[in-house]
Structure 1
Amino acid sequence: MSLVNVGTVAFDAIETPFGKTDKIIGGACTYISLAASYFTKGAKIVSVVGDDFPQDVIDMFSDRDISTEGLQVKQGEKTFFWSGKYHADMNSRDTIDTQLNVLETFDPIIPDAYQDCEYLMLGNLAPQAQLQVIDRLEKRPKLIVLDTMNFWMEVALDDLLTVIKEVDVLTINDEEARLLSGEYSLRKAAKKILTMGPKYLIIKKGEHGALLFNDERVFFAPALPLEEVFDPTGAGDTFAGGFIGYLASSGNISWENMKNAIIMGSALASFTVEKFGIERLRDLTMEEIADRISQFAELTNFTMEYPFQEEEQI
C-alpha cells in the first residue's frame, strides 16, 4: 500500500540527564519513515534539507526502500536545526535554539510517482503546509493521519482547525488535547475534538502510554517500563510511523486493527528512547520487534477470579 510521509528531515542537538550530543540526525519525517519501513516497503518522503545534509543519510533511506524523490535539497541553504535540553523528569524540555533555515520557505512538492498515495502521514509542520499536501494530491488517500503540537494551536489555530477537518486520525499529547479542547478531562476533551472532523483521536501520554478514541469507544495501550531512557526526542514520531506503517501494510483500518497499530507504534517508540536520535531505530531486527511486542502482550494479559459469589436467593 502506498504510504507518503510529510515532515521535517533535520539536525538536532540534545541534552538529557544521561548525556549530551552535538549535531545529530533528527526530524519528524525521519523518525516516521524509519519506523514505518519495518512494516511496509516503498514509503515516500516529502521534506526539504539544505546542501549541508549528509548524503549517507539519504542513502540510508534508499537502503531501507524509502523513496527520497520528494526530498528537496536546497543548494546554498542550511537544514532545519533544533536544540533542546530535557529536565530531570524527561517529560518536559526547554528549547535552546531553533533555526528554520530551509523550512522557512518550504513548499511541499508532490512528485507524480507519489500520486498513488493511499496512506498519508502529515508529521508536525505548519498547518498551511499540511493543507497544501492534501490539496496537491489528485485523489483523497484512504487514510490521513495528522500530528501537530501546541505551538500551532497558539499561533495558527484557524489554519489548524481547517486541516483537522480534512483528516481521519489526529495524534496529539495530553497537554495539547486539553489546550485544543479547553477541557481537562481527556474523555471530555476527546469528545469535543472528535466533533472537529477526525474519526479517531490518539492522545499520547509519554511514559504513561496512549489512548485511542472513536465515538464512544476507548482503547488504552500502556507504555513498556524500560530500565533506561536516554532520549525521548522522536518517540512520538516513531509511534506515528509504526502506527501508520502497520496499517498500510495490512490494508485494514478497522477499529480492531487500529488497536493493533497502537501497540506496534508503542513498541517501536520504546526502542527509540533507549539511545540518542535515530541510533537505536535505524538497525532493529524483526526478531527484536517481535520480542518487544510479546512483552506488550504479557504486560496487558491477565485473568481474574472473582473473590465473591452471588448471594443465594431467599
Structure 2
Amino acid sequence: MPVPLPIVVGGTVAIDNVKTPFADETNLLGGSAAYAALAASFYHQPVHLVGIVGKDFPPQHLAMLESRGISLDGVERSESESFTWSGEYSNNMNKRVTHRVGLNVLENWQVKVPAAVGTSAAFVVLANMSPDNQLELLAQCTAPERFVIADTMDLWIEIANERLHDVLKQLDLFVINDSEAREFTRTPNLLHAGRMMLEKGPKNVVIKLGEYGAMLFSAGEPTQFFRSLAYPLEELVDPTGAGDSFLGALAGYLAAKGSVMPDFATLRDAVVHGSVLASFTCEAFSTRRLESLDDTALAARMDHFRNVTVW
C-alpha cells in the first residue's frame, strides 16, 4: 500500500451568500481553500489548511472542517471582518452575477505557513487567491521533493498577469476553466490553449469544462492528452465551489498515491475522481452534500460513472 504524502491547501476561507432561481441561502461556508481541503480529505488526512478568517466567522464551519480531519493550525484568526462573497445564479445555473465582494481580512493578508507543515508538505495546493499570496505560500513550502498544483481566475489574469506567469513557472499542474484558458492564451481553441499553457512552465495542465468535464494535457513529444466527461446530474442545486472541489479531490487522490512524480495514468485517474467528487458539491448549497457524503456513496458513483462511460 502506498504511504500518503503530506498535503497543504492554501487560499480563501469565506462566508458566502448565494441566491439561485429556487432558493436564497446566507452565512454559508465558502472560499476556494475550504472547498478544496474538504474534498481532499476524502482521499487523505490530515489536510493542512492555510487561510485567514475574521472575528465574525461562524465557529460551526471551522468545527466541521476539523471533524473531517482538516488541520486548522494554518488558519489565522483576525479581529477584522471575514472575506465575504454574495452572488446570484441565472435560470440555467451556468451564469452567475456577483453582487458583493468584501475583501476585509484579505486586503493585507500575508500568508503564514506553520514551519512544520512547510518543511514536510510534499503536495502543495495553491487554491484560488492572488498570485502574490500563492507565491508567498510556495516560498514557505520547502520540502526537498514536492508536487505543486495551482488554480486561478479571470481577475488575476486581468490585473496580475505577470505575477501569474511567475507562479506558472513553478507548477507541476495548472488548473483553469475553459473561459479563463481562452482569455489567458487569447485563442478560442482549447486544444491549442492547453498546449500553449504548457509552454508557460507547468508540466501538466487541466482545463475544467464545467458540466462537460475536463481536459488534461501533459508535456512531452507528443503532448499527452485525456478528455474526461462530467458525472451526469439530474438535480443541480448550487454549483458554487464545484471547481474548487475538483481541485481538492484531484490533489487528495494524488497525495494518497504516495509519489510526487505521478505518471500520466495516475493523473488521468485523478481527473476522473475530481470530476465525480465535484458532482456531489452541486447537489446542495455550500459544502452540505460533502458533509453528509460517505465513502460508500462516493465509490458507488465512481462505479456508475465507469459503467456509463465505457463502450
Q: Distance in 1 between matches of 2:277 and 2:160?
A: 31
Query: CA contact under 8 A between 1:37 and 1:43: conserved in structure 2?
Result: yes
Using the TM superposition, name which of 139-148 and 47-56 deviates more: 139-148
2:132 aligned partner, one-letter code: Q
Partner of 2:198: 194
Which whole-Å deviations, capped at 9, do the CAs of 1:33-68 have from their partners, x for residues lacking one? Answer: 111111001110110000111222222222211110
Query: CA contact under 8 A between 1:263 and 1:296: conserved in structure 2?
Result: no
3-state SS of paired residue (2:17): strand
How many percent identity over aligned positions?
Answer: 38
Q: Which of 270, 281, 301 is 1:292 aligned to? A: 301
Partner of 1:234: 241
Residue 221 (1) aligns with residue 221 (2): no
Query: CA contact under 8 A between 1:46 and 1:71: conserved in structure 2?
Result: yes
Moved over 4 A (4+): none
Which whole-Å deviations, capped at 9, do the CAs of 1:134-186 have from their partners, x for residues lacking one? Answer: 11223355210000011100011001111111111010011111111111111
Which whole-Å deviations, capped at 9, do the CAs of 1:66-116 have from their partners, x for residues lacking one? Answer: 1100000002x1110001111122121110000001011111101122020
Larger Rg: 1
TM-score (structure 1 length as normaliser): 0.94
3-state SS of paired residue (1:90): coil
Partner of 1:8: 12
Q: Distance in 2 between matches of 1:138 and 1:176?
A: 30
Q: Distance in 1 between matches of 2:19 and 2:284?
A: 12
C-alpha distance 258-174 of structure 1, shift in aligned 2 (>3 A):
same
Partner of 2:209: 205
Query: CA contact under 8 A between 2:124 and 2:141: conserved in structure 1?
Result: no
Unaligned ranges ≥5, structure 1: 303-314
| Superposition pairs of residues 50-61 of structure 1, within 5 angstroms | 50-61=54-65
Partner of 1:94: 97
The count of corresponding residues between Structure 1 and Structure 2 is 301
Q: Distance in 2 between matches of 1:149 and 1:9?
A: 16
Partner of 2:164: 160
1:6 aligned partner, one-letter code: G
3-state SS of paired residue (1:98): strand
Q: Distance in 2 between matches of 1:300 and 1:142?
A: 33
3-state SS of paired residue (1:239): helix
Partner of 1:46: 50
Q: Distance in 2 between matches of 1:173 and 1:138?
A: 28
TM-score (structure 2 length as normaliser): 0.95
C-alpha distance 231-80 of structure 1, shift in aligned 2 (>3 A):
same
Q: Distance in 1 between matches of 2:233 and 2:66?
A: 31
Q: Distance in 2 between matches of 1:207 and 1:297?
A: 17
C-alpha distance 51-200 of structure 1, shift in aligned 2 (>3 A):
same
Query: CA contact under 8 A between 1:45 and 1:67: conserved in structure 2?
Result: yes
Q: Distance in 2 between matches of 1:23 and 1:33?
A: 19
Residue 106 (1) aligns with residue 109 (2): yes
Query: CA contact under 8 A between 1:134 and 1:140: conserved in structure 2?
Result: no
Partner of 1:173: 177
2:86 aligned partner, one-letter code: S
2:184 aligned partner, one-letter code: L
1:218 aligned partner, one-letter code: F
Query: CA contact under 8 A between 1:120 and 1:141: conserved in structure 2?
Result: no
Unaligned ranges ≥5, structure 2: none
